[in-house]
Structure 1
Amino acid sequence: MDFSNTILETIGNTPLVKLNKVVAEIDALVLAKVETFNPGNSVKDRMAVKMVEDAEADGRLKPGGTIIEGTSGNTGMGLALVAIIKGYKLICVISDKQSKEKMDILRAVGAKVVVCPTDVEPTDPRSYYSVSKRLAEETPNSWYVNQYDNLSNSLAHYEQTGPEIWKQTDGKITHFVVGVGTGGTISGVGKYLKEKNPNIKIWGIDTYGSVFKKYHETGIFDENEIYSYITEGIGEDILPKNVDFSLIDGFTKVTDKDAAVYTRKIAMEEAIFVGNSAGACIKGLLQLKEHFKPDDVVVVLFHDSGSRYVGKMFNDDWMRERGFLDENVTKAEDVIKDHIDKELIVVRTEELVSHAIERMRKYKISQIPVVDITGFVGSVDETDLFRSYVADKNVAEKPIKEVMGKPFPIVKLGTPIEEVSKLFTKENDAVLVDLKNGNYHIITKYDIIGSIK
């Protein structure tokens, strides 16, 4: 009989799959190392087992102990599998930008999940780096994994992933392209491949908001490059010890939008349902196409499964909210089509200013049309109300008609977006759209900005 003693024995030996449509512009053989075939559906299963076994061997992790790690989700899943099989408890510290699916999956396999804010410095006590360390100090019989600086991470890929790729390509690989986060995959695979053939090029995919590319090119850790970004699993605001820059031939950066768009393209054009970093890798690959020749064999690694992003990159509403869907916005009706059924919030001339303020809070809006029995007669804006309040603290009890401004301009559904945009001025922050049935909708500056691709 052919069977595995535990699920951990099924990790590795993932397939190499030829890519076709999504890389049609590249004049080379492009192969994807599809790591979603691992039992935890990501490449992180490999290093999770290696880090745990090495910690067991040298006594850092003791029987019945608690494993603690800061993770974007995938390492946590790999650690959860190991913890279940080996009898450990697991606490995963995760940033709030990670998908809900990742958090739910971790809880489903028994991990305690602690969520931390993304938009804080690594040294901030609220950051997931700091919280992980603090929990490790406070929890008896615990071990802090620290995948960023734990060199068992890159060693796992040196011992497993690198040799697999070399064998699967019969040593013909010329380029390895992979997203860089902790650095374990690119450094471990890169070290093995360059030992086999120093001419193999190792390319890292970075994201805007991360420090890797500039640091590799200049040696400068530029804090001005650090800002919040959406792409998951790649890029960092620190320099992990697992990133061996001497093994990397170059980086290319990919935008959040391109990473999201190409994540969907891989599913639709190759029938491979993989995650956000895979989309970034394919777009990065296309940006590097002048480096590839017809006889080259390019291997790109797909980190994880698309199932962890169904509420994000694979959700039209999520994509649309961020301007990631390339929809043709040419008329007023294009701007409002996704929320055209929403009721227009208004305030009447004799209502109090406090009523308008309450409506702005409730519906999270900044502009409200003012009506009377004849129709639209004015407008109120949160900035104007604030100025009125500063001038007169009793303004909240005054009728709207005493503080309202001019009514918003009204346009037809078919009005070109260029004409609508001209109606926005310093004095006017909204436009009303006539829906032809006695109803109206509002377009704000935010809506116009959101429609810009």
Structure 2
Amino acid sequence: MVRFNNILEAIGRTPLIRLNSLTKDTGSEFYVKAEFLNPGGSVKDRIGLKMIEAAEKEGKLKPGSTIIEATAGNTGVGIAIAASIKGYRCLFVIPDKMSQDKIRLLKAYGAEVIITSTSVATDSPENYNNVADKLAKEIPNSFRPNQFENPSNPLAHYLTTGPEIWEDSKGMVDVFVAGMGTGGTISGTAKYLKEKNKNIIIVGADPRGSILSGDSPRSYKVEGIGEDFIPRTFNRQIVDEMVRVSDKESFNTARKLAREEGLLVGGSSGTALAAALKYAKSLDKPKYFVVLMPDTGRNYIDKIYSDHWMKKNGFWEGEKPRTVIIKEVLAIKKALPPLISISSGEKLIKAISLIQEFNISQLPVIDDNHIVGSLNEVSLMQLLHDGIEFKNSNIGEIMGKPLPALDEKTDIYEAYRVLLTAATGIVVKRNDKPVGLITRTDLVNYWVSQNKRRN
């Protein structure tokens, strides 16, 4: 029997587990790298320990130090486990889209948690990365590992994850698939594998809405992967192919892994396998796949493994009512024109006039059918409070970010999902031209009207 001196020695050496049901029609062999079997339940145990050990060697961590990090939860757990053994205080900044189970888990290891908004811009002071930076400057004797820039992040995978995959696959691996967040896992593992065999294909799995694969930034529900900036720990050049995966594909694939393969994994594991299956369809001969599964599904019981949550967010693949498209919601808006907008070259006084005339709370800013910004009652209130000269102020100089846009044939549940976030409205497009605007109130009015019709 293997014996360890402490839990840190149990990190790594996770097995490769063959998939037998979900991949049977591909002709390829699929193995998952079971990182959810690490002591903290995720691949991030590896970098948590490595970053702390490196900081100790460099003199950045000393007895009594406070470790501060921005985390989606799993890195925090990895750091908290190591810190509990080594005696450091931990303070984590976590986005509010993360599961309550993850937050409770961090606290269980003795960590302190600060929750920030997911929907703010990357350069906002309220962004979780920027909050962590601020705290690290303000709290004496503190250290921020900064997993997005720390070279120990990819190094941990170059030294451990890559060699384990190569050894356990007996050098047979043809394709390695992993999600991308900080990029450390895929970059470090791929570097080692490419050194052993330059022909190994590296496939990056990315959520729709993440810029890592070049998509336009927008919100998504899957946790722990995807970014709205390019981390320094991500080596884009080492990734041969990138495959985008929707939240719906990710979560339903994760649920199938539990039901058909007995693997209870998180949503990002579903992303990785969904990407691998898509890539496998493009091949003309069978390959040996290794798909990295980052974390356990125990952190998501109330989310992706909840039928209610899946239905609420429009991800359910069971029985569904008739599909309703956004066009139908727009059609019942009779009190107002379908689209009230303003151009960036007009004056603020014109925007105020429109808002007062139609008693509306927001205005999309549209130039030549391009949505370039927006104005809403909150920003307008702040501007007027600050004494702006609204008669001569140009809209283009004061407008906020553009509202999200969806085609009029999009399912209403996608609009519902978007409006559950910080978005206050959605510009509706027809043939890529803005033709309307819907808000949360419009959805409420539509569903109320349908309910009255049924009764």
Task: Indicate the residue corresponding to 2:182 in structure 1.
Answer: 182
Aligned to 1:369: none
Q: Provide the secondary structure at the position in 2 that maps to 1:264.
A: helix
Structure 1 counterpart of 2:264: 273
1: distance between equivalents of 2:320 and 2:150?
49
Task: Please show how residues 25-44 of structure 1 align to structure 2 within 5 Å.
Answer: 25-44=25-44
1:111 matched to 2:111: yes
Query: What do residues 51-101 of structure 1 show as CA deviations (whole Å, max 9, x unaligned)?
Result: 100010011111210000000000000000000000000001100011111
Q: Is the 1:49–1:79 contact (alpha carbons within 8 Å) kept by the matching residues of 2?
A: yes
**Alignment partner of 2:251 out of 250, 260, 277:** 260
The whole-number CA distance in structure 2 between the counterparts of 1:305 and 1:326 is 22
Q: Which residue does the alignment assign to 1:133? A: 133
Contact kept, 8 Å, 2:203 with 2:276, in 1: the verdict is: no
Q: Which structure has the bigger radius of gyration?
A: 1
% identical aligned pairs: 44
* Correspondences of 1:224-243 after superposition (within 5 Å): 225-243=216-234
The 1-side partners of 2:229 and 2:82 are apart by: 27
**2:5 paired residue number:** 5
Q: Aligned partners of 1:432 and 1:296: how far apart in 2?
A: 52
**Which residue of structure 1 lines up, in the alignment, with residue 413 of structure 2?**
none
Alpha-carbon distance, 1:293 to partner: 5.4
Q: CA deviation at 1:294?
A: 4.8
CA contact (8 A) 1:31 1:300 kept: yes
Rounded to whole Å, the distance in 1 between the matches of 2:450 and 2:192 is 61
- The equivalences for 1:275-294 within 5 A come to 275-292=266-283, 294=285
Equivalence map 1:304-383=2 (5 Å) = 304-330=295-321
Return the alpha-carbon distance in structure 2 between the equivalents of residues 185 and 99 of structure 1: 22
TM alignment of 1:49-64, pairs within 5 A:
49-64=49-64
The aligned residue for residue 192 of structure 2 is: 192
Per-residue deviation, residues 175-208 of structure 1 (Å, max 9, x unmatched): 1000000011100000000000000000100111
- 1:202 partner SS: strand
Q: Post-superposition shift, 1:36?
A: 1.1
Alpha-carbon distance in structure 1 between the residues aligned to 2:126 and 2:31: 40
Residues in 2 aligned to 1:5 and 1:432: alpha-carbon distance in whole angstroms: 63
Instruction: Look up the equivalent residue of 2:34 and give its one-letter code.
Output: V
| Partner Cα separation in structure 1 for residue 209 and residue 453 of structure 2 | 41
Residues 291 and 65 of structure 1, relative CA distance in 2, 3 Å threshold: same
Tell me if the contact between 1:123 and 1:129 (Cα under 8 Å) persists in the aligned partners: no
Q: What residue identity is the alignment partner of 1:146?
A: N
- The change in CA–CA distance for 1:122 and 1:167 in structure 2 (over 3 A counts) is same
Structure 2 Cα separation of the partners of residues 113 and 293 of structure 1: 49
Aligned to 2:87: 87
Residue of structure 2 equivalent to 1:204: 204
Alpha-carbon spacing, 1:55–1:26, altered in 2? closer, same or farther (3 Å): same
Paired with 2:22 and 2:148, the residues of 1 have a C-alpha distance of 31
Alpha carbons 2:252, 2:317 under 8 Å: kept? no
Q: Unmatched 5+ residue regions in structure 1?
A: 215-221, 336-380, 384-389, 394-425, 441-453
Structure 1 170/138 Cα, relative in aligned 2: closer, same or farther at 3 Å?
same
Corresponding position of 1:431:
450
Secondary structure of 1:22 counterpart: coil
The TM-score with structure 1 as length reference comes to 0.72
- Root mean square deviation of aligned Cα: 2.8
What is the CA–CA distance in structure 2 between the aligned matches of 1:318 and 1:124, rounded to whole Å?
Answer: 29
Deviation, structure 1 residue 382 = 11
Structure 1 residue 37: Cα displacement? 1.0
Q: Note if contact 1:28-1:292 (Cα within 8 Å) is conserved in structure 2.
A: no
How far apart, in 1, do the equivalents of 2:175 and 2:450 lie?
A: 53
**8 Å contact from structure 2 (residues 73, 106) kept in 1:** yes
For 1:49 and 1:294, how far apart are their aligned partners in 2? 40
Write the letter of the residue equivalent to 1:138. Answer: E
For 1:315, give the aligned amino acid.
S
Determine the C-alpha separation between the residues in 2 that align with 1:321 and 1:3. 46
Alignment match of 1:246 (pick from 237, 244, 247): 237
Distance change >3 Å, CA 47–CA 328, structure 1 → 2: same
Which whole-Å CA distance do the structure 2 matches of 1:287 and 1:12 have between them? Answer: 28
1:322 Cα offset (Å):
1.2
- SS for the counterpart of 1:90 is strand
Give CA deviations for 1:297-327 in whole Å, capped at 9, x if unaligned: 1100000000011111001110001111123
Separation in 2, partners of 1:296, 1:6: 39
Q: Could you say which residue in structure 2 is the equivalent of 1:161?
A: 161
Residues 26 and 135 (structure 1), Cα distance of their counterparts in 2 relative to 1, 3 Å cut: same
CA contact (8 A) 1:213 1:250 kept: no
Gaps of 5+ in 2: 325-333, 337-355, 360-437
Amino acid aligned to 1:143: F
The corresponding residue for 1:404 is: none
Question: Which whole-Å CA distance do the structure 2 matches of 1:31 and 1:327 have between them?
Answer: 28
Contact 1:44–1:75 (CA under 8 A) maintained in structure 2: yes
The AA in structure 2 aligned to 1:6 is: N
Q: Which amino acid aligns with 1:169?
A: S
In the other structure, the counterpart of 1:120 is 120
Equivalent in the alignment of 2:99: 99
Figure out how many residues of one structure are paired with residues of the other and give that number: 348
Specify the SS of the correspondent of 1:232. Answer: coil
Deviation at 1:146, TM superposition (A): 0.5
Other-structure match for 2:402? none
Query: In 2 relative to 1, CA 37–329 (structure 1 residues): closer, same or farther, beyond 3 Å?
Result: closer
